Structure 1
């Protein structure tokens, strides 16, 4: 799942040279208002390395290969692929790049674990998991019905990202990646996914900008939109079969909002000269952007406490939250994402002792304390 945006940024050219052996290539995301993923190309002494690969679609593949050609690189030349996180608009084309080039794929273990579990689950398990998760969050029967039909009819793997490439290498937080001639350090930034990483290029900025190197930020830090922070998806989660409040609070999905806020502070302390995100455009002023995002989530949490003066399910809470369009105009899939984001914020309030699940409620409701 990608960050939410009302319209894509389309003013910049499809390939941008950032200097110092770094380029970005716009790779389209079909039928998505974000428009594209910025795949970054990093020259190394061992050969070109990609940071993310983009969505698995013929149009996206054509854009990636053409963009690399503009940079003077053929896909066959790619030495390695470093994945910021497992979502299909970032990891989707990794298998094809590896097939053509023989490149290795590196990913943080927390997201590699998600990839392994995803590949091991049949499609009907995923549809059933999503249906149970939404039912436990208070979703109406008409919203859940399409997922149950897909499960019972044995639909093929139509959801994106159900066959992601298995990585060849891990990414160890805090360590330099094995990229001859470059200093690229992995910074673990969980929140958007459990294994999201930013990549800090610890080299002088080619234009001499003030700050410490450049940061490939994936979806963690974006210039004009807020990344989706929802509960981590896991079909092995015991809440599929036991959706009770106590089970949901034991969930392995943890506290994504808390993880994200902590990760933002870590990135802000780096104070990079420039940020190269996976969507929109490169930007400066990372500490200020970090402060804006922290303030946004603090305001969100405060607003939810006001809503939770009465017991509400996550679904009813999502209906009342402010989104980039009225609830009635939000499509089916995006409503599911919105509910997951509402749940993540409620989880944070529970962790802080400012909200609690109402004992005996089914579906579970929460109230401020």
Structure 2
């Protein structure tokens, strides 16, 4: 297995694709985006191994986001490679117009509920299109628990929703060690956005915490993420992200106490400042994920689009020694 570092202008750092070519099949996990820089890097990497795009037999995608799927259609058209992705994400990867229109409509409904200003909605729309502008593939959907044979080893699908509805891990054994291709579920530097990155996910923070528990309990020796460098202690990294969300929960509650009743956009501005571009989606999305979780645990209550603290929560905030809002693993 080899990691292919590809281009990406986003804050997560350069995308990774993974080449498994130590047998009769040539496999890619993720493809990076559709830009010329990514295409050139992938071609150069393959040439250095006496391969080309036409040699790729199968592509496994961790989730639908374009920075992970952008070249899948082009590779398929050149090589005939099959493209595999979780069933929840398959229509978006294929570029189904109805599915993309439904996503945009759902986003607009959330924007209404979050109190997103018209100017911020326009910035988000400028970064998005109704259907992909790059070549899209035909896909073969898979489900949680499916197992693929890859050059004499098993590659097992583990559904890990939260950041995206169909986000999946691929677990396998390399050199006798249990490893996982974690996509954006586990990143070494940043925490993946929940709530804004895919508004189709119901209870996004809870789903993501469940994914972190799955990673922590699995005992993987290494995680190969969708961005940046490998993670040598996945369980510890998962626990640190949980602590991050615990701290964010305190900060969200403190903001609701100080400004409430308050809408999602106002809490986002308090925590993250004046966000622009795609961050104007991710910031309030993350706050929404926390408010949704805190409402379900009885720590905040909502009246339409505004939130206030539930009875007794202000005292726990003052003591800062209350329960952990069901976030610990």
Q: Distance in 2 between matches of 1:127 and 1:176?
A: 33
CA apart distance, 1:305? 1.6
TM-score, length of structure 2 as denominator length: 0.84
Q: Secondary structure at the match of 2:153?
A: coil
User: For residues 269 and 123 of structure 2, what CA distance do their matches in structure 1 show?
Assistant: 20
* 1:334-349 correspondence runs (5 A): 334-349=279-294
Tell me which residue corresponds to 2:317: none
Q: Determine the structure 1 residue equivalent to 2:185.
A: 220
**Aligned-pair CA distance for 1:366:** 1.4
**For residues 176 and 34 of structure 1, what CA distance do their matches in structure 2 show?**
29
Shift of 1:45: 3.6
- In structure 2, how many angstroms separate the alpha carbons of the residues matched to 1:341 and 1:122? 22
Quick check: 2:95–2:136 contact (8 Å CA) kept in 1?
no
User: In the alignment, what sits opposite 1:320?
Assistant: 270
Deviations 1:333-357 (A, max 9, x none): 2122211111111111122222221
Deviation at 1:172, TM superposition (A): 2.6
Equivalent position of 2:145 in the other structure: 174
Q: Give 1 or 2: higher strand fraction.
A: 2
Q: Residue in 2 aligned with 1:138?
A: 115
- The answer to whether residue 251 in structure 2 is matched with residue 311 in structure 1 is no
The equivalences for 1:176-325 within 5 A come to 176-205=147-176, 212-231=177-196, 233=198, 253-309=201-257, 310-321=260-271, 323=272
Structure 2 residues without counterparts, runs of 5 or longer? 311-329
Aligned equivalent of 2:5? 26
Alpha-carbon contact 2:188-2:231 (below 8 Å) kept? yes
The CA distance in 1 between the partners of 2:59 and 2:204, in whole Å, is 26
Q: 1:95-115: per-residue Cα shift (whole Å, max 9, x none)?
A: 011011100000011111444
SS of residue paired to 2:84 = strand
Tell me whether 42-51 or 114-123 shows the greater mean CA deviation.
114-123
Q: Partners in 1 of 2:113 and 2:193 — Cα distance?
A: 21
RMSD after superposition? 2.6
Query: Structure 2 CA distance, aligned partners of 1:216 and 1:226?
Result: 16
- The offset of 1:170, in angstroms, is 2.1
Q: CA deviation at 1:37?
A: 0.6
SS of the counterpart of 1:72?
coil
Specify the alignment match of 2:323 in structure 1: none
Q: TM-score, normalised by structure 1?
A: 0.76
Instruction: Specify the alignment match of 2:83 in structure 1.
Output: 105
The 1:28/1:146 distance shift into structure 2, 3 A limit, reads: closer
Seen in structure 2, the aligned counterparts of structure 1 residues 39 and 333 have a Cα distance that, compared at 3 Å, is: same
Aligned mates of 1:49, 1:302 — CA distance in 2: 43
CA distance in 2, matches of 1:314, 1:118: 31
Matches within 5 A, 1:29-68: 29=8, 31-43=9-21, 45-68=23-46
Aligned equivalents of 2:158, 2:18: Cα separation in 1:
17
Deviation string, structure 1 residues 118-170 (Cα, Å, up to 9, x no partner): 532677x776654553233112233335678x7xxxx9x74784667355322
